[in-house]
Structures are given as structure tokens and as C-alpha cells.
């Protein structure tokens, strides 16, 4: 009974995270329109999150060996600096719809990496769920507009971001049995910030204090820092610990659905019947993927 309640809570954590992360696209778009750079947006959101987590993270907990410390560095890179830089750089080369589709392949990369390094084995129903959900992602992102504009650099960057997030989820799963969730999350923010700093040598942040303190910028930065980073990274790492890397990642397919709804409400973007059909496909695919205990040890 307790295990069932724990799993239900973990599913709710992953679902809540997917909902918030799906809305971050709109916040990021607003901040970019106000003159912030992609690197600057990540810098401010991670600074807010790091400041918030410091009072709660265990003070006496340390990495047990140099190898684990390197894994924490890898978490900061794959779930922080490299992920955000590649994803945002891809937007400068290709259509946002292509980036959204390719980044949503992260659960597939996670499943393959988890099978190779964590020995997580999935049943066929999960793969069918992934195929259905991915089809829904494509339909939702295009939202009734069929546009083909391939760009090799943009597509490679998008896939690199998806692979990066898959690596993050698998590495976090390897560490979650030995360290607390708060400690792992604090390390992610710290090394994410540290490895981001060289990026500003090439693309400096130019937004001044008046811009940062303006109401639209401040509220969206607080949303990204407090909810999308501080709260959701904790929830995501807890969900990984309970559900496993692959099952937790399945909820990433829901991101475009939330982005679709948020864009319609905040940005007044048009939602077509085809996009609604795609959203239903995503929900069906996620349901199939989570319907069974997909994680097994081979």
C-alpha cells in the first residue's frame, strides 16, 4: 500500500514538472523579446534557484569520492549549461517547431541509455506508447501548419540537447541511491552556473538593471527560477529516484501540450482541431507508457 502511494506521488511530481516546464517556453519567449540573451536567462534562473536551495540542502553532505564529484559536474553540464546552450542555439538555426520535436526525443534517448547503463528493460507497450506520443508531439508542434525546412546544424544542436537531457536523467538515477535529492539538485545548480560562465566570453549579457526590474521580466524570471528550476528540479530528481529514468522521462512528451495551452492563453496563439487531436495522441501515448510497471532489471 505504501509503495503504491509512493508511486502515485512520484507520478504526480513528474506530471507537475512537465506542466511547469511546458509553460517555460512562453516565459522564455517574453524574456527574449525584452532583450535578454539565452545564456542570461539561464544565469538568472539558476542563480535564483541556487540561492533558494542553499538553506535547505544538507550542510554536512559531501561527494564521497572524486568520481562522484565528476558525475556531479556532468549533471551540471547535461542538465544545465550544455542543454540550454544547445537548445537555444538551435532556435537560431532552424524553426522552433523542429527544435521542439527533436528535443522531445529525449525520452527515447533516456530509454536507450537506461537500458545500456542502468539495465532498465521496457516492455513493448512502452515503446508503442512512445511512438504514439511522439506522433502527437509532431502534430501539436506543427498545429496544422506543414512546413519543411531542414537545417543540419539546427537539427544536430536539437538532438544534442535531447541527448544531453537523457544523459542527465540517467546520471541522476545513478547517484540518487547514494545522495539526497536536495544535495544532488544543489550540485546541478552550482556546476550548471560554473560551466555556463565561459559562454559569456562569446555572448555577453547586455540587459541592464532597469530591464531586469521591469514587471514582465521580473515576474517571468521568478517563475523560471523559483518554480521551473528550484521546485521542478527537486521534483524531477525525486520522480527519477522512485520511477526510474525511463518512466519519469515519459512525461516530457506532455511539454508541447502545456506549451500549446499556455501560448493560446498568454500569447493568443491559434489552436487548431489538428493540434487538439495531437494532444489527445500524446495523452494516450503517455497513458500506455505508464500503464504497466515498465522498469525491469535484466
Give me the residue spans of the domains in the chain: 9-297
Least reliable range by pLDDT among 33-47, 139-153, 264-278: 139-153
In this predicted model, what pLDDT tens digit does every residue of 87-118 receive, in sequence order? 877 766 765 656 677 788 888 888 888 888 88
For the CA atoms of 129, 132, 134, 136, the dihedral, rounded to the nearest 10 degrees, stands at: -130
Alpha-carbon gap, residue 259 to 157, rounded angstroms: 21
Instruction: Using the predicted structure, report yes or no on whether residue 57 has a pLDDT greater than 60.
Output: yes
pTM: 0.84
How many Å apart are CA 257 and CA 134, to the nearest integer?
12
Mean pLDDT of 199-215: 87
- 21-31 mean pLDDT: 82
DSSP H stretches of helix in the chain: 2-33, 38-53, 66-76, 82-91, 96-103, 106-113, 124-142, 152-175, 181-196, 209-212, 215-222, 232-243, 245-249, 255-266, 273-291
Write down the pLDDT at residue 72: 97
Per mean pLDDT, which of 2-11, 55-64, 187-196 is the most reliable?
187-196
How far is Cα 138 from Cα 107, in angstroms, rounded to an integer? 15
Q: How far is CA 54 from CA 61, 69, 183, in A?
A: 12, 18, 9
> Average of pLDDT values for 156-182?
92
Amino acid at each position: 500500500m505504501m509503495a503504491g502511494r509512493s508511486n502515485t506521488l512520484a507520478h504526480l511530481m513528474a506530471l507537475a514538472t512537465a506542466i511547469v516546464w511546458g509553460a517555460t517556453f512562453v516565459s522564455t519567449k517574453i524574456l527574449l523579446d525584452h532583450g535578454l540573451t539565452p545564456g542570461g536567462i539561464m544565469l538568472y534562473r539558476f542563480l535564483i534557484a541556487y540561492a533558494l536551495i542553499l538553506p535547505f540542502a544538507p550542510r554536512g553532505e559531501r561527494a564521497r569520492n572524486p568520481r562522484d564529484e565528476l558525475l556531479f559536474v556532468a549533471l551540471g553540464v547535461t542538465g544545465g549549461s550544455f542543454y540550454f546552450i544547445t537548445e537555444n542555439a538551435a532556435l537560431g538555426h532552424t524553426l522552433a517547431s523542429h527544435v521542439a520535436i527533436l528535443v522531445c526525443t529525449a525520452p527515447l534517448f533516456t530509454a536507450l541509455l537506461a537500458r545500456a547503463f542502468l539495465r532498465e528493460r521496457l516492455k513493448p507497450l512502452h515503446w508503442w506508447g512512445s511512438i504514439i506520443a511522439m506522433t502527437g508531439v509532431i502534430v501539436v508542434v506543427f498545429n496544422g501548419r506543414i512546413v519543411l525546412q531542414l537545417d543540419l546544424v539546427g537539427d544536430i544542436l536539437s538532438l544534442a540537447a535531447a541527448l544531453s537531457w537523457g544523459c542527465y536523467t540517467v546520471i541522476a538515477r545513478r547517484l540518487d541511491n547514494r545522495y539526497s535529492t536536495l544535495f544532488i539538485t544543489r550540485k546541478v545548480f552550482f556546476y550548471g552556473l560554473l560551466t555556463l560562465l565561459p559562454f559569456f566570453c562569446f555572448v555577453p549579457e547586455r540587459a541592464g538593471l532597469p530591464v531586469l526590474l521591469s514587471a514582465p521580466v521580473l515576474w517571468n524570471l521568478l517563475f523560471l527560477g523559483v518554480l521551473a528550476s528550484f521546485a521542478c528540479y527537486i521534483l524531477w530528481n525525486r520522480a527519477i529516484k522512485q520511477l526510474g529514468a525511463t518512466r519519469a522521462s515519459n512525461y516530457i512528451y506532455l511539454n508541447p501540450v502545456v506549451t500549446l495551452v499556455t501560448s493560446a492563453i498568454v500569447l493568443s496563439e491559434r489552436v487548431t482541431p489538428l493540434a487538439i487531436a495531437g494532444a489527445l495522441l500524446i495523452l494516450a501515448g503517455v497513458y500506455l507508457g505508464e500503464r504497466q510497471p515498465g522498469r525491469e532489471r535484466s
